[in-house]
Chains A and B, each alone.
Chain A
Amino acid sequence: MTLREVLDNVKGEVICGEDQLDHSVELGFATDLMSEVLTILDDDILLITGLSNIQSIRTAEMSDITQILFVRGKMPTPNMIELAKENNIVLMTTQFSMFKTSYLLYDKGLSPIY
């Protein structure tokens, strides 16, 4: 599923990384717990989270995750966006809950890690 399709499926919008929306992602992981993200061995996953702070971007950076989808309309701060741009991380947001977002993307073929 391309990131453009991710956005279509969850009626989301891109915050930064518009030029990378044709990138395709196969795996998704939904959590607010960054320690859990840091235990994942797969790299190219879509991180779905309601945690919008600088540590969510740092965690993605350390985990080689290049796309984050914030749920419940969470909007990153300017310094989060700056850090994401430095690390070529695409930031997206949707108004839907984590539960609904996960269902919609799973239903369209995004695979779970576990």
Chain B
Amino acid sequence: MDKRYAIPSGDFTHAGQASSEIKRLLKQLNIPPKIIKRVVVSLYEAEVNVVAHSLGGEVLCSIDSEHIKITVSDRGPGIPDVGLAMSEGYSTASQEVREMGFGAGMGLPNMRNNSDEMDIKTSPEGTSIFMNISFKEN
């Protein structure tokens, strides 16, 4: 099953809508709550990143009986230094983003910690983040 959601740039009122819908869907599929939390925390952080840092993008969630594969892609301007962006505490967020309770440099590390697999491809034309989360509890 594939689910696709558009994420407008700068629209904080809608950040989290995709995560909210995916949460409801995974509950209906009887996925364990701890796994659902890992999925929606990762997805929500990704949504906030697209709203906060990009020119807009989309989320594609592919769900089968064993995994959810999430691809979050945006239209730029890219992450200049992925290594720095992955270190906790580093952030380029604006004051507006910080006022929304984000921009503490914890988003990408938190996504990595909640995913079984994560891959980032970035250029000035856009960033694509792939995350894979297994439905099996460790």
A contact residues vs B (CB 8 Å cutoff) = 32-36, 38-39, 43, 51, 53-56, 58-59, 61-64, 79
Contact = CB atoms under 8 A, between A and B. Distances in A.
A58 B37 contact: no
Given A34-B100, A56-B101, A62 B110 contact: no
Contacts of A58: 15-16, 19-20, 44
Given A34-B101, A53-B101, A64 B20 contact: no
Contact of A63 (B41, B104, B107): B41
B33 interface: yes
A53 B106 contact: no
Nearest to A54: B13
Interface in B18-61: 19-20, 23, 33, 37, 40-41, 44-45, 48
A34 B41 CA distance: 11
B102 interface: yes
Contacts, number: 67
Interface residues of B, number: 25
B135 interface: no
B110 A39 contact: yes
Contacts of B103: 35
Nearest to A53: B100
Contacts of B41: 38, 62-63
A63 B39 CA distance: 11
The winner among A35, A53, A61, A64 for most chain B CB atoms within 10 A is: A35
B90 interface: no
Contact of A32 (B48, B101, B110): B101
A55 B12 contact: yes
A77 to B, nearest CB: 10
Contact of A34 (B19, B23, B102, B105): B102
Contacts of B110: 35, 38-39
Contacts of A35: 45, 101-107, 110
A62 B114 CA distance: 13
Contact of A62 (B12, B16, B105): B16
Contacts of A59: 44, 101
B23 A54 contact: no
A61 B101 contact: no
Contact of A38 (B15, B23, B45, B105): B45
